[in-house]
Amino acid sequence: MDDLRISKRVSNANFYLITFIVGFIAFFLIREIIMLVLMIAFEIRDPGFAVSFASLLEQGNFLGFTPNMWTALNLSQFLGNLILTIPLVIILWKVIVRDFKLFKTELWHNLRVIGFGFILMLFGQNLLSRIYQYFGIVDESANQELIMYALEADSSIFILLSVVILAPLLEELLFRQLFFGLLEEKFKFPKVVALLISAAVFAALHAYDIFFFQYFFMALILAGSYSLFKNNIIIPIGIHFLNNAVILLYVFDIIG
């Protein structure tokens, strides 16, 4: 019986490893494929669209984007996240349901944990912003700048749904549930090392310049909340959701 249980755990770990690798590749590939299809569609209607769009995107010149360019970018982001989130939720459904049931057993405690994690994240981001300003760095990260411009487009509903709803769910399942879990359980990294590696990878995917540290701190909070509170994925999803939602409220000048 013990051998059977060990074999099952190893089998599950290997399955999750394959799921993470496929999911990690698809995280980039699906969006690019959808964007290519949309570029071709708009190119047929508007010759020269593809070249102009690719050039402006490479330059980071978002002010030069046309409405169709924003539609291609926002829709590819939304559909890419949606297409990847659905199979991940299906694969990890039992884990999600189990964690949600456990979350409800200590509901108010866990809600306070989410609130504290969110406040800690805001404090860290504010502190880093002040440090950046002290050294004369006043720009936003490329990722944040892109989102801010995207939210002003007519197709902003797609980026809104992607950032607030899909991103917290997708990224927590992929980088905390799978990646951090594999580092700690399958590869037997010490908890602190697993935290640092998973946070570094997450941050590098969002920013590869000086703003790397903002996302690194954010990822440490998310991974730390997952690890410290019984590996319950609902907690980092809640913190991530709250963080993204409040940032968007600031962008729209609803609060602050």
Tell me how far apart the alpha carbons of residues 216 and 237 are, in angstroms, rounded to a whole number. 16
pLDDT by residue (tens digit) across 116-158? 999 999 999 889 888 988 888 766 666 777 787 888 888 889 9
pTM: 0.90
Is the distance from CB of 199 to CB of 216 less than 8 angstroms? yes
Query: What residue segments make up the domains of the chain, in order of their start?
Result: 2-251
Question: Any catalytic annotation for residue 171?
Answer: yes
Question: Any catalytic annotation for residue 43?
Answer: no
Residue 140: per-residue pLDDT: 66
Average pLDDT on 190-202 reads 95
Residue 9: per-residue pLDDT: 44
Burial label, 198 (beta-carbon count in 10 A; 0-12, 13-18, 19+): buried
Q: Which residue in the list 109, 171, 172, 185 is annotated as catalytic?
A: 171
pLDDT by residue (tens digit) across 74-103? 999 999 999 999 999 999 999 999 999 999
Q: Which residue in the list 172, 184, 206, 240 is annotated as catalytic?
A: 206
Q: Answer whether residue 8 shows pLDDT above 60.
A: no
**253 band by pLDDT with thresholds 50, 70 and 90:** low
